[in-house]
Structure 1
């Protein structure tokens, strides 16, 4: 599979390009970015070609990986699908439900495969845990805490200057990760029953799941560095189960996501983390955001 990269920012440099360039089963065919000089530098570093025009890259590849802000990703994903490219996308799929639906619709009409890179879902220990708990069932409640320090003392991070993270906050940045773990274990969300603000961009969300369980999310990018971290726990008839820490680097997880895209393209079988799942996550985030806006959060 010939795959191109759309984007040249920190995530593209740290994860996407190294994973694609080092993948034995892919041909890393080129890079396009909104900053041509950055595309040239990234392409040279990984022995591939820089494209000045995104549509020219789309015409030359079988698939694209996208490392761009959600609104830019959504627009380019539609164009890529129309060009017949399989889609390896980032979370969140889009900043609005309408844009996310446009991506899903374009992929379905073009009959291209899609995978959204929820990092935890492609790390081996968490992936096995999620499958085990989903099979076990009988869950009564769950909780997820996804606390980052991006705006709470880690401003030297290359992601701290991200305009979309500043605008959308933890709900849209780390919320997708929490949902990607809870949904396959507890079932789809019937409704968001509450959403309340906390310090900084912190939000607390309460979910009612189709399987009868309820869950709570605490999401933040404003935690003090010493308080940052992730914890997910579910409780039910089998007792309590805690999500194990993912020890593999994001590059390794992203390479697995690329493998998943290749398999979905080869077999025609949708991956559990496809664009349709990304749309569902977007719908839940939008519902929580609407509650926050309505209540002045």
Structure 2
């Protein structure tokens, strides 16, 4: 089977699985489909850990001075939540079609452990020590073939029930054994500097409404303060305080959107003592006032499918 033929089959299946614009939740809890019939201008986003396959259209992520492209030829792996800016290419004639795998930590850890047992692991794996928390990798034939078989199974209720979990496990194996495998396995195994920063990020997402004690985060990560700052910046391209601010603002936007909170109430919920400071920082991040940003999101499909996970997310 040629690459073009396989990609056409994948697109056809996603047209079937995602007939409507927006997010479609699949029968497997951690899997969802996305269809977008319009381009999206640059917007700040915060992805939770997971894997993104864009099978038609294109997404571009901007983090620091880097541009990360993920499309039919490249899949995105988010090892840890990293704030970045994203834009998409899509149209009515050629909608963006994507598969989102929200990282299932139990499944991923089980597959990672099996790989490490078979091939060995190193706590100081240089390929994962100073890695940015999200990266795009080329789509190889084995991953693409597995993705196609997974989508074929997900298009049939019986095959979804019988074959879906096993094919999802195979897809995890392909990714965890691929170019970003060492990065993901370091996070899952809490190994090396990346694993230590991942612990700190999990703490920030759990306690974002509380005052941030950077020294405590460094101690919990087993790093000196200077080393903690350096490794944190390498993984997230930002400082701990800026990361906390971004997490709070993304969460506040979601509270206003999902629960109808006022800006003042959302600001208080996420830990801001000053509503005016919240409004200034919200406008600085999202480019407009809270009310205008919520109205923009309500007028579009670009809403997160759920928000009950351990990480704050706009995805």
After TM superposition, is the score higher than 0.5? Answer: no
Flag the structure with larger Rg: 2
TM-score under structure 2 length normalisation: 0.23
Instruction: Name whichever structure is richer in strand by fraction.
Output: 1
Tell me: higher relative CO, structure 1 or 2? Use CA pairs within 8 A at least 6 residues apart: 1
